[in-house]
């Protein structure tokens, strides 16, 4: 297990900014909604303290983080009814522990490829109207589940 750095690092984007539209903050983590026109159901679960890898966390914190991630995924499924939910923890560009929770639809821009892959089709903005309309309710449900 690595060494947990519980300080904030001035050079780390996720130490100094929320990283998107803040939905909820707990003492250990926060959930933000990524403002991405192509993926309105895109959230991140971000560990507050600086840690680069999941195994940098003590076991109890890993369990807490996975439970929070499962709650967010479950609520995304319940509210947005996606074809699939993608979960990813990359950190190659920003080496601060965070998980992507991305609602995916068979007609989205990249499906079935990852959102960072080659685009498969153009999608008109109006396609996302019903998804965007549900986001405030989803945000509120995430707040309630994690507060």
Name the CA dihedral angle for 125, 131, 136, 142, rounded to a multiple of 10 degrees. Answer: -130
Structure-token pair, residue 83: 């074809």
pTM value surpassing 0.85: yes
In a domain, 132, yes or no: yes
Structure-token pair, residue 26: 């707990």
Query: CB neighbours (10 Å) of residue 33?
Result: 19
In a domain, 83, yes or no: yes
Q: Which domain does 59 fall in, by range?
A: 13-146
In whole angstroms, give the CA distance from residue 73 to residue 53.
20
Evaluate whether 50 touches 36 at the Cβ level (below 8 Å). Answer: no
In a domain, 5, yes or no: no
**Which CATH number goes with the domain that contains 91?**
3.30.428.10
In a domain, 140, yes or no: yes
Instruction: Look at the chain and report how many structural domains it folds into.
Output: 1
Q: What is the pLDDT along the chain (147 residues), one digit of tens a residue?
A: 444 445 667 777 888 788 899 999 999 999 999 999 999 999 999 999 989 999 999 999 999 999 999 999 999 999 999 999 999 998 777 788 999 999 999 999 999 999 999 999 999 999 999 999 999 999 999 999 999
In a domain, 58, yes or no: yes
């Amino acid at each position: 297990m690595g060494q947990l750095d519980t300080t904030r690092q001035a050079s780390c984007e996720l130490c100094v900014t929320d990283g998107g539209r803040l939905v909820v903050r707990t003492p250990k983590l926060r959930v933000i909604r990524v403002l991405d026109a192509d993926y309105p159901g895109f959230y991140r679960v971000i560990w507050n303290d600086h840690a680069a890898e999941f195994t940098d966390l003590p076991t109890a914190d890993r369990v807490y983080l996975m439970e929070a991630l499962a709650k967010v995924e479950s609520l995304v499924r319940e509210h947005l009814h996606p074809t699939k939910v993608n979960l990813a923890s990359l950190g190659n560009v920003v080496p601060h522990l965070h998980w992507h929770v991305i609602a995916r639809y068979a007609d989205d821009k990249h499906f079935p490829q990852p959102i960072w892959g080659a685009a498969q089709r153009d999608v008109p903005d109006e396609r996302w109207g019903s998804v965007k309309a549900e986001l405030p309710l989803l945000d509120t449900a995430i707040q309630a589940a994690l507060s």
